[in-house]
Structure 1
Amino acid sequence: MVNQEAPAWLQNYPSEVSASYQYSKRPLADFLKESAEEYPEKKAIHFMGRDMTYQELYDYSKQFANALKSHGVEKGDRVAIMLANTPQSVISYYGALLAGGIVVQTNPLFVEREIEQQMIDSGAKVLVCLDMVFPRVQKIRNNTKLEHVFVTGIKDFLPFPKNKIYPFIQKKNTGMKIEVSYDHMTHHWKESVERASKEWEDVKIDSREDLALIQYTGGTTGTPKGVMLTHYNLVVNTEQCIKWMYQAEKGNERILAALPFFHVYGMTTAMNLSIMHAAELVIVPKFDAKQVLKTIEKKKVTLFPGAPTMYIAITNHPDLEKHDLSSIKACLSGAAPLPKEVQGTFERKTGGKLVEGYGLTETSPVAASNPIWEVRKHGSIGMPWPDTEMAILDQENGTFADINEVGEIAIRGPQVMQGYWQKEEETKAVFQEDWFKSGDMGYQDENGYFYIVDRKKDMIIAGGFNIYPREIEEVLYEHEAILEAAVIGVPDPYRGETVKAFVVFKEGQELSEKELEKFCRTKLAAYKIPRVFETRKELPKTLVGKVLRRVLVEEEMSKTAEDDEMKKQG
């Protein structure tokens, strides 16, 4: 432990939660098998009117594992999944794990350049994608090691007549008719699964050593890196979540899956938690506040992990008072600070609890949160979960800082990653002995509650998505008219932060905001595109020519303060 026999946070632990537990050393997919054996006829998934039992989910997952095996997938091969929240996403994930594969979650919003980067770096052998993103995949697949692509559509698991109507709605909304040419390397996902056997012989997995997931993140630097998480890492974090939510009853919960499964937060706190605890996973393919309100009321959702933007949208929705949300027991909020007024409004309306937590992709992801049913501190990220230690490192010498002293948050525990995929030096840089250095600046109070005061790096969190300025800057620099570029996050009442780009044009050249946005749209996922552009004659720099983003941030903060003051006076 850190500088003390008993950490201060243990004094404030719920009496129902122990400081330490024995965790299962079984492979992650074993928990799907267990739930199917204990609750075969219980609903495992609800998706747009379609229900699937645990036995059906397990059978489909075994069939997909057999389909992968028939196409040469062996233990350790990387299987990329590029899907929105759908039953296919859950089946593909657990099917890949059953086959001994390593899942590579890929954001379906990615453009060609981003997909290509991830496929090349991971060395993925197989990709599962939606039909609507298949054209993007086709453009880059020959530049990668992809041998097989499985294509599915939202309609594949819709009930009749929605499955017949959906293609027409899709065409109306997107303006495109989806057509896929299937061959020996491009396969129809549903047909491949249904043709495969339900019989399955388990692949031998060493839970502590074998990877289950390579999850890409900018880490603490901004360069995309694959976080290596073992089966044990993910099993532990899911079991920790269950222990922390001690009032949740196995086999009796309904979890809303509004967080994307391709993000480790949604993967652990919605999908894996649901499977391990035999809950009903209520899947929404895309967050829409009106639809979520209806779904919570109709399905009597009990647990709802989410991001602050989701709770903000719900509490500010004009139809809020028309819906009964009293089924909600608990919500864990992550990815950005949770506004106090939002927490209060949400809890008054639902009668449930909404608490703020903290974690990173490198910690599977949850490392800490406020107690759900005990003393919470607003503005705090809470306290470390069982078997997890957190400390504050002094920036000068790397020693442990004193109480209430600001430094870098460091974490160690069984959910901490094995390192970055094929990046030994970057891995060494973020570890101090067995402590993972988060890159976040914060402090611990005398009661063991932790607080974040700033980010060590310049990562932007907008709507729950991590956005790295360097990536956007590199895209802007590709334009022949741009001389210099800098990107920062600026306050946004809905997204938490939004992206602002400062550009200096080459002499005699200039672009409009619309032209800049159009250029970025060809290179970046929609959520990364700057919402504001500002033209400058020059950017603030150090003596060696490094752009000072912090100066730009301070200027924006000053502008915001002046605007607020003028509004008060006006």
Structure 2
Amino acid sequence: MEAKPWLSQYPPEIPAHLEIQEATVQDYLKRTSEKYPEKVAIHFMGKELTYKQVYNYAKKLAAYLQELGIEKGDRVAIMLPNTPQSIISYYAILMAGGIVVQTNPQYMERELEYQMKDSGAKAIITLDILFPRVSKIIAKTNLENIIVTAIKDYLPFPKNLVYPYIQKKQYGLIVNVKHEGQNHLFTEIMKKPAGKWKQYELDFEEDMAVLQYTGGTTGFPKGVMLTHKNLIANAAMSNAWLYKCKEGEETVLAILPFFHVYGMTAVLILSVMQGQKMVLLPKFDAETTLKTIEKQKPTLFPGAPTIYIGLLNHPDIKKYDLSSIDSCISGSAPLPVEVQERFEEVTGGKLVEGYGLTESSPVTHANFLWDKKRVKGSIGVPWPDTDAAIFSLETGEPLPPGEIGELAVKGPQVMKGYWNRQEETEQVLKDGWLLTGDLGYMDEEGYFYIVDRKKDMIIAGGFNIYPREIEEVLYEHPAVQEVVAAGIPDPYRGETVKVYVVLKEGKEASEEELNEYSRKHLAAYKVPRLYEFRKELPKTAVGKILRRALVDEEKAKIEDHQKRA
């Protein structure tokens, strides 16, 4: 207990150790389809599919993929937003013996080409409007087949007839793909009678289910090898944490993209495992989300801070009934305390911060949702079967409570390693510990706190400054909607603090006002020296603000200025 002080914080309902059944990710779809065959698995813009239907569609696509030559261990990419096809494709690839490569639909040709080459994917399942992009890179990769679907394919009547016109207006194109050669239409595959498919024996601990690429905010994206055990263990931990949720009775708002590891595990895999209904939204739009919550009454709402911020700042939020929301775990970025408090006030539900990374499938820590102490500003405590420690940046030795060092985690959810990158794997996996690259500390009770990314720490005039601390202060200013702090090159101090601010609609704040506000709440050396107001900030698909992109912008400006001089 001394080594894991957080276990004394656990409520009796959460076990310290879980018995994980050695079943593959796809086994759970089969089990749920047999246990809850007529239960709605997916709600998509008015269209609903039962678990039995989803399983049968996945089985049909799995057989077709094998006909195309997909064998055990082959990589198959999915380049889709949250749609019924993305769920069917995910399980079909696994059932065919393949490994899923999740691909962001926003990727342009260069990014897509890199990922397809690096993964060696043999086939890709994508949208009609993305087909031209995929076609341009196919000759430069190992891709042999493209399976094409459209949003309208799983829309109810008459939306399926109207949508192509909306799509043409929005994207300026209608793409017609013929079901021939290397191009295959999802709708045509589903019309075929179910073919025979070979079921492969899989090693629960060793065989990969997913090759999940990191965001690439620090250099080129790396393929993270996640096994069936990694994913099932993390989903089981999530289920244990949500101990008040009832199997087969919850409705989950599936707004986190499935191509992001948090959406894949905490929404897709966990929902299928527990027989929950998923309400799919292919992209985040505040008004659409509010309307969907009122109508579909989701009880679970996993999200990211920018999603909650976007809803809270919608001018008509008070017009909507959000009282169905019971539990929300926020991930992918730090959750500002002010956002947590306001969201709980508006919905009456619980919103807590969690923590994870792609390399850990992804969740390792979270705050308790019910009955136990929640520490604001903390990422919470490690999940069942998960160990965590803070290591000294100087000596590499474990540090006592209260001291800042690098957070390391250990558990069954930790990746096998990076795809084809042995050296980089060895840099982050040491004696079973995953070095996260995040700086933090643990308190006496076992609650952990992240102060910042190791690479994001600002060193100005010899002082260590953590951007998160500055951001937390400015988030409390009534006019600030979003803010990010970054260290930019400074000839005198080495680095200086600059903040990029998005103001709330209809609110005003000057640089002088924010500077005065910062001085009241921060030590002088932490006070931002530069302020820039923007309409929006660069973000990943899941809403994580790209601090590094802003720093790169500043460096490019400095280089350009020096060239001109």
Report TM bin, short chain: 0.7 to 0.9
> What is the identity percentage for the equivalent residue pairs of Structure 1 and Structure 2?
54
Q: What is the CA distance between 1:198 and its match in structure 2? A: 6.5
For 1:7-406, what aligned pairs fall within 5 Å after superposition? 7-197=4-194, 200-217=197-214, 221-373=218-370, 374-406=372-404
Q: 1:182 deviation in Å?
A: 3.9
Name the CA distance, whole Å, in 1 between partners of 2:216 and 2:369. Answer: 28
Contact kept in structure 2, 1:67 and 1:193, CA below 8 Å: no
Paired letter, 2:450: I
Query: 1:537/1:123 Cα in 2 relative to 1: closer, same or farther (>3 Å)?
Result: closer
Give TM-score, length-normalised by structure 1: 0.81
Say yes or no: does 1:450 pair with 2:448: yes
Q: Which amino acid aligns with 1:285?
A: P
SS, match of residue 18 in structure 1? coil
CA shift digits 1:485-522 (9 cap, x unpaired): x9x99544489xxxxxxxxxxxxxxxxxxxxxxxx9xx
Tell me which amino acid in the other structure corresponds to 2:384. P
Q: For 1:174-208, what per-residue CA distance to the aligned partner results, in whole angstroms no more than 9, with x for missing partners?
A: 11222224422111122113314076553211111
- Match of residue 500 from structure 1: none
The equivalences for 1:505-516 within 5 A come to none
Change (3 A) 1:489 1:452: farther
**Structure 1 runs, 4 residues or longer, greater than 6 Å off:** 459-462, 525-529
Instruction: Decide whether aligned partners of structure 1 residues 218 and 340 sit closer, same or farther in structure 2, where only a CA change above 3 A counts.
Output: closer
The CA distance in 1 between the partners of 2:499 and 2:106, in whole Å, is 23
Q: Cα gap change, 1:27/1:489 in structure 2, threshold over 3 Å: closer, same or farther?
A: farther
Q: Distance in 2 between matches of 1:174 and 1:75?
A: 37
Q: 2:122, 2:142 within 8 Å by CA — same for their partners in 1? A: yes
- Retained in 2: the 8 A contact 1:330–1:354? yes
Instruction: Name the CA distance, whole Å, in 1 between partners of 2:414 and 2:303.
Output: 22
User: Where do 1:415-430 residues align within 5 Å?
Assistant: 415-430=413-428
Any idea what the Cα deviations from partners look like across 1:311-359, whole Å, max 9, x if unmatched? 1111121111111111111001011111222211211222210000000
Q: Give distance in 2, aligned partners of 1:261 and 1:168.
A: 26
C-alpha spacing 1:166/1:233, structure 2 compared with 1 (3 Å):
same
The alpha carbon displacement at 1:150 in A equals 0.3
Query: How many Å separate the matches in 1 of 2:401 and 2:269?
Result: 35
Residue 12 of structure 1 and its aligned partner are, at CA, apart by: 0.8
TM-score, normalised to structure 2, is 0.82
Counterpart residue identity of residue 405, structure 1: E
CA distance in 1, matches of 2:49, 2:86: 14
Whether the 8 Å CA contact 1:66–1:196 is kept in 2: the answer is no
Contact kept, 8 Å, 2:43 with 2:49, in 1: the verdict is yes
Q: Is the 8 A contact 1:37 1:55 kept in 2?
A: yes
Q: Whole-Å Cα distance in 1 between the matches of residues 380 and 330 of structure 2?
A: 12
SS at match of 1:408: strand
CA offset digits 1:446-483 (Å, max 9, x no partner):
11000111211249999xxxx9x9xxxxxxxxxxxxxx
TM-aligned CA deviation for residue 51 of structure 1: 0.4
Q: Assess if the C-alpha contact under 8 Å between 1:369 and 1:382 holds in 2.
A: yes
| Runs (5+) with no aligned partner, structure 1 | 470-485, 496-519, 542-570
CA drift of 1:223 comes to: 2.7
Conserved? CA contact 2:354–2:379, under 8 Å: yes
CA shift at 1:84, angstroms? 0.7
In the alignment, is the contact (CA less than 8 A) between 1:109 and 1:526 conserved in 2? no
**Residues 66, 197 of structure 2: 8 Å contact kept:** no
1:389-538 paired onto structure 2 within 5 Å = 389-458=387-456, 490-493=499-502, 536-538=557-559
Please give the secondary structure, in 1, of the residue aligned with 2:25.
Answer: coil
Give a deviation string over 1:88-135, Cα, whole Å, max 9, x none: 000000000111100000001000000000000000001001111111
CA 1:84 to 1:220, structure 2 compared with 1: closer, same or farther past 3 Å? closer
